[in-house]
Chain A
Amino acid sequence: MNIGTMIKRLQDIMRQDAGVNGDAQRIEQIVWMLFLKLYDAKESEWEILEDNYKSIIPEEYRWRNWAPDNKDGKAITGDEMATFIIQLFATLKDLEVDENTDARGRLVKEVFTDLNNYMKDGVLIRQVVNVLNEIDLTDFKVRHAFNEIYETILKDLQSAGKSGEFYTPRAVTDFVVKMVDPKVGETIADFACGTGGFLVSALNHMKEEVSNTTSNEKLQKSFYGVEKKSLPYLLCTTNMLLHDINEPQIIRGNSLEKNVRDYDENDKFDVILMNPPYGGTEKKSVQQNFPTELRNSETADLFMVEILYRLKQNGRVGIVLPDGFLFGTDNTKLAIKQKLMEECNLHTIIRLPGSIFAPYTSIATNLLFFDKTSPTQEIWFYRMDLPKGYKAFSKTKPVEIRHFDDVIAWWNNRIEIKDTKDDESLSETWKSKKYTIDEIKKLNYNIDQCGYPIKEEVILSPKETMDNFIMKRESLEKQLDEKLNEIISLIGDLR
């Protein structure tokens, strides 16, 4: 089973359907079906393990009852299929749930609440379903292999041009998790979880520790995520299910919409891992949930404040932030950094090369590690340089966990490293250095230290330059068109 070709086959089928527009919709189409199929596979397990398990999905809409095609001419297709899917969506959106409903059941309703089915052609829908049924998700091994394919789907989603959020490379999440080292029994949160990258990395890390059913059960309730947009939310919940978290605690919403002063111990976590969206601006109503002196319209800054209010005593944090946070000294950024260093021990900052998120963006990012044990006494900086032979990371040569080996070696044996220069007259720069809190204060909390000495400009070949330009322009124009279409539909209601 070559999943790569499977995805291509699915896309080829869907391209013939007039209702599906663009990669993002195609992916949403694949994923809702995948979710139902996966859910069905899990239900088979639950039915075996629990005597009283009853599915919240009405019988006729359960994947097992309408999706399989025994090639006897009885499988629904054509117009009948098209109508059926419309009814399926309507039913699942309207499932009756209350506080007594099993969390697994509630998940179905939550997932379908903002989902859309785009395909209009019943014959094509049948073809897509049949392709998906070539994978046997009840087979644990297959499901495990499928995880990696799922990652590909997630990566491809980013090139469909969703702005602001980008897929954090697995190597980065795995590295952060390795350093933060969450343990079984701890609670792990990501308040802007996207497709669930950090949560899954943490889960994989902790699974190595799981030795018996008790710890496995503890794992079930360990993860907490919040995601604003419907498609990543769907992908995240499916991701958690794929990894056998049966009742994923993923909330659909904007965690910034709660007043930080209303958080109590139950809202706090042992471990917080995040790559918040950068460059976003939050409305006034959202900003008011934060104290005036820390109030800012920048999304990433507000998330940083939220973290400070939701970290348990002795808790640990690993977060990805842009350069702007490090050197920014406008009023609230300064106040936020001060609060961070007064309440927490910001012990390590790793500078990442600009191309680490290539090809989606070339923004300069950094990993900040801190814990709530004591105020900051000193901060260690380390600049991660590109590996030998790499002019830059790219789509074909992405960052891998092995590229972090040097960083990990240094982490456990921290020394200051000065950059060697061919020309001694050039000013000295450091790859790794320790700064005391007093030195930081003198620098007015500018923690943009041990940066990259020369702004390395990557010059591509003429053809690459042109291809890049065309690709980027297409992606931007696609985004522009999508937004314009949203506006048209908003005003189209009336005229």
Chain B
Amino acid sequence: MIVDDLKKSLYLACFQGKLSIQNDTDSNVQESLNQIIIDKQIDKKEIKKRKINDEYIEAYKLPQTWKWVKMGYLCDVIRGLTFSTSYKKQKENTILVLRGGNIDSKTEELIYDDNIYVDSSIPNSNQFLKVGDILIVASSGTKTSVGKSSFIHEVDDNVSFGGFMMVVRPYEQIVNPKYISYQIKMYRNKIINDTNGYISNITNEILNNLMIPLPPIEEQQRIVDKIEILLDKLNDIKPIEEELTTMKSNFSNDMIKSILNEAYSGEFAFTNEKIDDWKQDSLIKIADIYTGNSISESVKKNKYMNLEDGYNYIATKDLEFDHSFNYNNGVKIPYSESGFKYADKNDILMCIEGGSAGKKIGILSEKVCFGNKLCKFSTISSDILPKFLYYYLQSPVFLKNFYGNLSGIIGGVSINKIKNIIIKYPSIEEQQKIVDKIEELLPLCDDLDSLVKA
């Protein structure tokens, strides 16, 4: 989606200084850095404690006034609380502990769901969340959650965070907290790639060694302002793109439905037969209609799996949405087995129960046994072409009736209801012309589908 591509490239441009002005009057980054090192006492011992190493890989060239700085010089990195299962779910003068699930995956905002609380004696003084903090999921069973972060722009006084979480607390004298927050979001993927082991884990060391392209603090604010306007605009684009994608994927189906509707509402009228001239009958009068047999899992396994000979057994899962059958699916019914119903070559099979009811239909190319959610149709009247019936069962004219009769929790139509549905049909000649036209147009719709989605 263009929104995602744009987002990445806009972030990158921002952090290369391409979307902000470098002002002569801005403060000096090196001086601020020197000052911070003094203020926060980041001496050799501290550098060792923070595990800041010597590796300096500059990803790209920075504007003159900027400098690559490791995050360990710009922030405190704080690990979350460890506590025994003495947490409570009730709030009684205690500390709320945030966990990975408290960051909404879509909006990246805090959500206060499924809260747990601990006693106020457990957190250290620096383990209380503050405005300006960035809360990060440091480890999680779900690899995609690792690195998920939320910028804290408002929080109550007694909120802390759990052991699988980390907080980056920027030094506001040198760095804009929101600036760091966007850096972390952008490097989220990079962070995931840097971790190892089955349960992904971000360590203090990793965060402290993150290379941050650092502009003067005034420019950081300008960049943050710019990003936020751009993100707003991108959010406006997202629903438009999504709607475009949806309508494109629906188009070919809509066309097929429309064509079939025209056909069976008598709009084609090749031989000038109008719909009022068409004959009509209930389905049971023109076709053999019945459902198949169900087989329990155990019986299937014991008796009908991996046999050499027999009729293939077709269940709903073996009939695809593109009308093809998966004949050799492993289940066969021996030729001489009693108690099973059959469907012959050229018969129609259609799903009439379950989630795929009305959506799966196909014409058989061999004799089979079939499941009870599938219904077989084979024409018995010489007034109806099999293919006419086949496309009729896919047309909105039939399906409206069909769906109108859905009942039950699972959602199916009783065989009796189907047998009594009235089908309207013209002369054989007209039927053939209609079928020909449909078979001419339907492949074109498939072409449309791939073209439109390109």
Residue-by-residue, is B231-271 near A (CB-CB < 8 Å gives 1, otherwise 0)? 00111110111011001100100110111011000010000
CA gap between A486 and B257 in the complex, in Å: 38
Given A454-B403, A457-B396, A495-B19, the answer on whether A281 and B237 have CB atoms closer than 8 Å is no
Chain A residues with Cβ below 8 Å from B254 are 465, 469
A477: B residues at CB distance < 8 A: 244
Q: Could you give 25 example pairs across A and B, Cβ below 8 Å?
A: A163-B236, A163-B239, A425-B407, A426-B407, A454-B404, A459-B257, A459-B258, A460-B258, A461-B267, A462-B255, A465-B254, A465-B258, A469-B247, A473-B247, A476-B240, A479-B240, A480-B237, A480-B241, A483-B236, A483-B237, A483-B240, A486-B233, A491-B19, A491-B230, A495-B19
Q: Is the CB of A490 within 8 A of B229?
A: yes
Our pick among A279, A281, A476, A487 for the contact of B6 (Cβ within 8 Å) is A487
State the CA gap A114–B243 with chains docked (Å).
30
User: 4 shortest A-B CB distances, which residue pairs?
Assistant: A465-B258, A459-B261, A462-B258, A476-B244
With the chains together, A491 CA to B244 CA distance in Å?
25
Interfacial residues of chain A within 20-56, with CB under 8 A of chain B in the complex: none
Which A residues are in CB contact (< 8 Å) with B396? 457, 459
B12 located at the interface, meaning its Cβ lies under 8 Å from any Cβ of chain A in the complex: no
Extra contacts besides A279-B239, A425-B407 (19): CB < 8 Å: A281-B235, A284-B154, A457-B400, A459-B257, A459-B261, A459-B396, A461-B262, A461-B267, A462-B255, A469-B251, A473-B244, A473-B248, A476-B240, A480-B240, A483-B233, A490-B230, A491-B19, A494-B20, A494-B21
Report the Cα distance A101→B136, complex, angstroms.
54
Q: B306 near A: Cβ within 8 Å?
A: no
Docked complex Cα distance between A341 and B376 (Å): 53
Contacts of A469 on B, CB cut-off 8 Å? 247, 251, 254
The reply to whether the CB of B40 lies closer than 8 angstroms to some CB of chain A is no
Q: Smallest distance from the beta carbon of A218 to chain B beta carbons, Å?
A: 41
In chain B, what residue has the closest Cβ to A454?
A: B404
Q: Which of B143-183 contact A (CB under 8 A)?
A: 153-154
A155 within 8 A of partner (CB): no
Give Cα A58–Cα B193 distance, bound, in whole angstroms.
Answer: 66
A435 to chain B, nearest CB (A): 25
In the bound assembly, the distance between CA atoms of A425 and B404 in angstroms comes to 12
A199 to B152, CA, bound (A): 41
In the assembled complex, B86 has its CB within 8 A of some CB on chain A:
no
B296 close to chain A: CB less than 8 A: no
Count residues of B near A (Cβ-Cβ below 8 Å). 41
* Closest partner residue, chain A, to B235 (CB atom): A281
A484 at the interface (CB under 8 A from B): yes
Contact of B107 with A by CB under 8 A: yes
Query: Which of A284, A297, A426, A494 has the most C-beta atoms of chain B within 10 angstroms of its own C-beta?
Result: A494
Indicate if B26 sits at the interface (CB-CB under 8 A): no
Say yes or no for B405: interface residue by CB 8 A criterion.
yes
Query: What's the least CB distance linking A326 to chain B, in Å?
Result: 21
Q: B305 near A: Cβ within 8 Å?
A: no
- How far does the Cβ of B58 sit from chain A's closest Cβ, in whole Å? 21
Interchain CB contact under 8 A, A462 and B18: no
| A491 near B10: Cβ-Cβ < 8 Å | yes
> Does A433 count as interface, using CB distance less than 8 angstroms?
no
Interface digits, A471-493 against B, CB 8 Å rule (1 contact, 0 not)? 01100110110011011001100
Q: Does B279 interact with chain A (Cβ within 8 Å)? A: no
- Measured between C-beta atoms, what is the minimum distance from A355 to chain B in Å? 16
Complex Cα distance, B359 from A375, in Å, reads 48
Residue B61 at the chain A interface, CB threshold 8 Å: no
Q: Is A423 interfacial (CB-CB < 8 Å)?
A: yes
> Are A461's CB and B258's CB within 8 A?
yes
Contact B230 A495 (CB under 8 A): no
Give chain A residues whose Cβ lies under 8 Å from the Cβ of B19: 491, 494-495
Residues from chain B with a CB closer than 8 A to the CB of A454 are 403-404
- Tell yes or no: A348 within 8 A of B by CB: no
In the assembled complex, which residues on chain B have CB atoms less than 8 Å from the CB atom of A462? 255, 258-259, 262
User: Please, what's the 1-or-0 string for A141-172, where 1 marks a CB less than 8 Å from any CB in chain B?
Assistant: 00000000000000000000001000000000
Judged by a CB distance under 8 angstroms, whether A443 is at the interface is no
Q: Check B240 against A490 for contact (C-beta < 8 Å).
A: no
Q: Which residue of B lies closest to A487 (CB)?
A: B233
Chain A residues whose C-beta falls within 8 Å of the C-beta of B229 in the assembled complex: 490
| A249 part of interface (Cβ distance < 8 Å) | no
Is B226 an interface residue when CB atoms closer than 8 A count as contact?
yes
Residue of chain A at shortest CB distance from B233: A487
Determine whether B13 belongs to the interface, using a CB cutoff of 8 Å to chain A.
yes
The interface centre, meaning the residue of A163, A483, A484 with most chain B CB atoms within 10 A of its CB, is A483
Q: Give the chain B neighbours of A297 by CB distance below 8 A.
A: 107
B13's contact among A288, A426, A491, by CB below 8 Å, is which?
Answer: A491
Task: Give the CA-CA distance A480 to B2 in the complex, in Å.
Answer: 10
B320 at the interface (CB under 8 A from A): no
A466 within 8 A of partner (CB): yes
> In the complex, what residue of chain B is closest to A281 when comparing beta carbons?
B235
Chain B residues with CB under 8 Å of A279's CB are 239
Chain A contacts for B6, CB-based, 8 A: 487
- B155 → A minimal CB distance (Å): 12
Minimum CB distance partner of B244 in chain A: A476
- Chain A residues in 8 Å Cβ range of B239: 163, 279
Return chain B residues, CB-CB under 8 Å to A425. Answer: 407
Report the separation of the CA atoms of residues A425 and B406 in the bound assembly, to the nearest whole angstrom: 11
Question: How far apart are B413's CB and chain A's nearest CB, in angstroms?
Answer: 12
> Which residues in B have their C-beta under 8 angstroms from that of A459?
257-258, 261, 396
Q: How far is the CA of A491 from the CA of B17 in the complex (A)?
A: 12
| Cα–Cα, bound, A305→B75 (Å) | 40
Closest CB of chain B to A363's CB: distance in Å? 12
Contact among A423, A457, A487 with B230 in the assembled complex (CB-CB below 8 Å)? A487
A257 and B143 CA atoms in complex are apart in Å by 39
User: B17-35 interface mask toward A, CB cutoff 8 Å, 1 = contact, 0 = none?
Assistant: 0111100000000000000
Whole-angstrom distance from the CB of A201 to the nearest CB of chain B?
29
B109 at the A interface (CB under 8 A): yes
**Bound-state Cα–Cα, A22 to B391, Å:** 44
CA distance A491 to B13 in the complex (A): 10
Q: In the complex, what distance in Å separates the CA atom of A462 from the CA atom of B229? A: 42
Residues facing A in B373-409 (CB within 8 A) are 396, 400, 403-405, 407
